[in-house]
Structure 1
Amino acid sequence: MKKRFLAIAMAAVLAVSALGCGAQDSSKKDTSTKANKEETTSTNETDTKDGSKVYTIATDTTFAPFEFQNADGDYVGIDMDILEAVAKDQGFEYEVNAVGFDAALLAVEVGQADGVIAGMSITEERKNKFDFSDSYYSADVCMAVAEDSDITKYEDLKGKNVAIKTGTNGADFANSIKDEYGFTTTEFADSSNMYQDVQVGNSVACFEDYPVMAYAVQQGLNIKITDYREAGSDYGFAVSKGENAELLKMFNEGLANIKANGKFDEIVDKYTKK
């Protein structure tokens, strides 16, 4: 199994397409770093020298511990390691396009990518556009505030602003209760800017999937997680509805195998346990 990482400037390409239509193990250095930083492409139809298909998988850019860049500039995390382990188990090749969450979904919709793995929640609405794999992770939602904040409960949010990240469980939950508790929300495309908004005081709190928030705090983020924990949703790998059934089948079979042989637990523990 071979993989390649492509950090490509797809935003403009995808925007044009939309108008026309209406990990690797963090302990190993990615030998394709140059391709990761320099190569560009506008199609997912890629083949190896021997003629076998290379699947293009879109992902987010900053959603640690599921996908993020390490010190060497390589994309690592739970999602990246699961994808690598599944591909190795099933014997398929792939390349990763780290373009951001919204762009990753659009890439699959318009045919710029074969699949997406990006801490993506399986929802009924998304099932109208995507076919999902079996769930590979279940994440609760938590609320975090600045370290010196006296906010401890949802009632304390009344009349204030809350930061959320687009497309996440946390965003969905915050929007579902904001009218009840009288607060407003500001959406961000990535977690780092969401956290910063809380740290500088523009927002008094943020909602995020617990493993993401816990990892950020472990890494030194100056916010604190409150005692509130809410049921979140399941994460899934996805392909465009009715497309790439063979890839989805391989992902499900590979996922079942790495769960059975202990590799899955090894991957998750690496990023979530001290």
Structure 2
Amino acid sequence: MKRFTQIGAAVGAVAFMAAAVTGCGTNSTSGSTNSTSGSSGSEPTLVLATSADYKPYEYHDTSSGQDKIVGFDIDVANAIAKQLHFKVKIEDMDFDGLIAALQAHRADFVIAGMTATPQRKKSVDFSDVYYQAENVVITKKGDNIKSLKDLSGDKVAAQLGSIQEDAAKTIPNVKLDSLDTIPTVVQEVLSNRADAAVIENTVATGYVKSNPQLQINKIAGMTENGSAIAFPKGSPWTKKFDTAIEKMKKDGELQQLAEKWFGGGQ
């Protein structure tokens, strides 16, 4: 799915502790991190790479006086960690660098509202889909956008390396404005530097709520996006995560997390 000017921030601690297993995760040296805290040391620590500019999936929350990365994806990762008995260390980086981090073994998995496209599958492995969403177009209020053809010749913003960028490329004669972060993409529309932006619906909802001069335009034929977790090729964790995701679907935990963060389920 998703995403920029660089986001640099020191972030606080995220951890889940449960019964012990042996093994160890990947050490990482790039980006800002949420470090895990105290444990017996018998659980492995897995490095979670994400791009924390994608509220409500993952974003920086400073409301407690500390800078923490929170969101739907983080809750999903922590729930899986609790099931599989590992600790989580978060690395925050640009979205278009996440696949490279897996390939270089600087991260054990990526959870970032990412869609398992055929192109990405050539480079990394993916879990089963854990959440479905769809693309929409945001514009200033009063615009009447019914199809991508209505944006023909317009300047349209989207996040660099995202499937929304791919969708924007299909607009006839589009002037594509590819940017590093979602806040920057939205700001282009707010400041009239772009006529529209292609964003995922769950993310767009939050921005429209806080910026009443914007509106969401649902476009017929826009594809759904299935979020999945990415791993280095051949990772032993892929199937384990699939088992945990299936359990969360069956026992309703994924539904509860979706309602918490999006106000609706699957």
Equivalent residue of 1:193, what SS? helix
> 1:131-170 counterparts in 2 under 5 A?
131-149=125-143, 151-170=145-164
Conserved? CA contact 1:8–1:41, under 8 Å? no
| TM-score normalized with structure 1 length | 0.78
1:137-165 CA-partner distances (Å, limit 9, x unpaired): 12211111012545554333222210011
Conserved? CA contact 1:170–1:207, under 8 Å? yes
1:38-97 CA-partner distances (Å, limit 9, x unpaired): xx9528xx9x76343211010012011111112232111110110011111221112111
Conserved? CA contact 2:48–2:111, under 8 Å? yes
Q: Which has the higher helix share?
A: 1
Match in the other structure for 1:239: 231
Q: What is the count of residue pairs matched by the alignment?
A: 237
Match in the other structure for 2:104: 110
Across the aligned residues of Structure 1 and Structure 2, the Cα RMSD in angstroms comes to 2.8
Give me the whole-angstrom Cα distance separating, in 1, the residues matched to 2:80 and 2:226.
Answer: 18
Equivalent residue of 2:54, what SS? coil
Residue ranges of structure 1 left out of the alignment (5+ in a row): 1-6, 10-29, 34-39
| TM-score normalized with structure 2 length | 0.80
Residues 161/267 of structure 1: CA separation in 2 closer, same or farther (3 Å cut): same
Match in the other structure for 1:92: 86
Q: Of the candidates 248, 263, 266, which is equivalent to residue 273 of structure 1?
A: 263
> 1:239-258 counterparts in 2 under 5 A?
239-242=231-234, 244-245=235-236, 247-258=237-248
Conserved? CA contact 2:28–2:107, under 8 Å? no
Equivalent residue of 1:258, what SS? helix
Match in the other structure for 1:20: none
Equivalent residue of 1:186, what SS? strand
Give me the whole-angstrom Cα distance separating, in 1, the residues matched to 2:205 and 2:88.
Answer: 30
Equivalent residue of 1:228, what SS? coil
Percent of aligned pairs with the same residue? 24
Conserved? CA contact 1:128–1:241, under 8 Å? no
Q: Of the candidates 251, 254, 265, which is equivalent to residue 264 of structure 1?
A: 254
Give me the whole-angstrom Cα distance separating, in 2, the residues matched to 1:106 and 1:147.
Answer: 38
